[in-house]
Amino acid sequence: MKEIDDSEEDRNVNLEVEMKSVKDVRKVAKLLGSRQMREVLTVNTNRSQQIMGPVVEDPEYKLIVQANNLTVDIDNEILLVHM
């Protein structure tokens, strides 16, 4: 267990050294311009019909799932930027 902690700590130190040389945050945080982010932000959510069939087939449900998954990526980028 101690070896795993030491290895992770070494990685964090190396990452911090690499991050100090970065002058532009957009070099590190690339999620904003990603295909995944554009897809979620550009989906048309106008609803004009009732859902027929399973909820998981509903486009709005799929969008919610994609957006929830994206929140994990956003959180990871925030942590990366603040290292």
pTM score, two decimals? 0.54
Whether the pLDDT of residue 41 is over 90: the answer is no
Contact predicate 49/62, CB 8 Å? no
16-34 average pLDDT score: 72
| 7: its two tokens | 């290895």
Whole-number Å distance between alpha carbons of 78 and 5: 22
Tokens 């959180």, residue located: 75
Give the pLDDT confidence score for residue 71 in this predicted structure.
92
Give the pLDDT confidence score for residue 53 in this predicted structure.
77
Cα–Cα–Cα angle for 40, 67, 82, nearest 5°?
Answer: 105
